[in-house]
A = this chain, B = another copy of it.
Amino acid sequence: MSRVLLTGFDPFGGEAINPAWEAVSHFHLKMYEGFEVEVRQIPTVFKKSIYALRQMLLDVKPDVVICIGQAGGRSDIAVERVAINIDDARIPDNEGNQPIDEQIVVDGPAAYWSSLPVKAIAAHIRQAGIPASVSQSAGTFVCNHLFYGLQHMIATEFANIRGGFIHIPYLPVQTVARPQLPSMSLDVMVKAIEIAASISVQYDSDIAAADGQLY
């Protein structure tokens, strides 16, 4: 039975909740056909987030890792394609760190690709009636930081793990005071993450499908 590790961050940037953790914590103690899920919370802190994830990889021994993060202002599920080797924080993280243009891994490659089947994931989420797309940037804050750290650990230490990152929108309750921003319901996000986990377990390689961006 394949084991899937799902992670979600704690709230940051003045938010009371983080949809990533709200969604991920729903998978606790549930059964899935063909795989089992472990869920863990990750602190929204540079460096510490990667150290925490490394310990989880050692403890959980997952086959697949999917880290989930909040993309406040997006309207769809964003399956991230690439992590870049840079920290550039517009706001402080949850312990006050605000690195500017620092490498995540000194002399590491400029970028790592997700090792999940990103297009198959996006396509199957859409087939379930949920808007999703492949994204070319996870930003330069702790989400991209953790994503890069994950892929670096896979490349250098955990060769049997496949992993990647998915961004999810605000929950409706987070947009009550800014109703012009899009949101997505928790059950829709949970369904999308379950599909992502299932497809990641089933697909060894990605499908060929146009899902790029013009700019």
A38 to chain B, nearest CB (A): 24
Q: Does A90 contact B (CB under 8 A)?
A: yes
Q: Would you call B140 and A137 a contact (CB within 8 A)?
A: no
Name the CB-closest residue of B to A80. B215
A120-157 contacts to B, CB under 8 A, are 126, 129-134, 136-141, 143
Name the CB-closest residue of B to A168. B215
Chain B residue numbers with a CB within 8 Å of A137 are 136-137, 213, 215
Whether A130 contacts B98 in the complex (CB less than 8 A), given A136-B139, A137-B213, A214-B90, comes out as no
Q: Would you call A91 and B213 a contact (CB within 8 A)?
A: no
Chain B residue numbers with a CB within 8 Å of A178 are 131
Q: Would you call A75 and B215 a contact (CB within 8 A)?
A: no
Q: Would you call A139 and B208 a contact (CB within 8 A)?
A: no
CA distance A84 to B215 in the complex (A): 12
A179-215 contacts to B, CB under 8 A, are 179-185, 187-188, 206, 208-215
A25 to chain B, nearest CB (A): 17
Which of B100, B208, B212 contacts A89 (CB under 8 A)? B212
**A residues in contact (CB < 8 Å) with B:** 13, 69-72, 74-76, 78, 81-82, 84, 86-91, 98, 100-101, 109-113, 119, 126, 129-134, 136-141, 143, 167, 172-173, 175-176, 178-185, 187-188, 206, 208-215
Known: A89-B210, A100-B210, A140-B212. 19 other contacts (CB 8 A): A72-B215, A75-B175, A75-B181, A75-B183, A76-B175, A76-B179, A87-B212, A98-B210, A100-B208, A100-B212, A101-B208, A110-B111, A111-B111, A131-B176, A136-B139, A136-B140, A139-B213, A185-B187, A185-B188
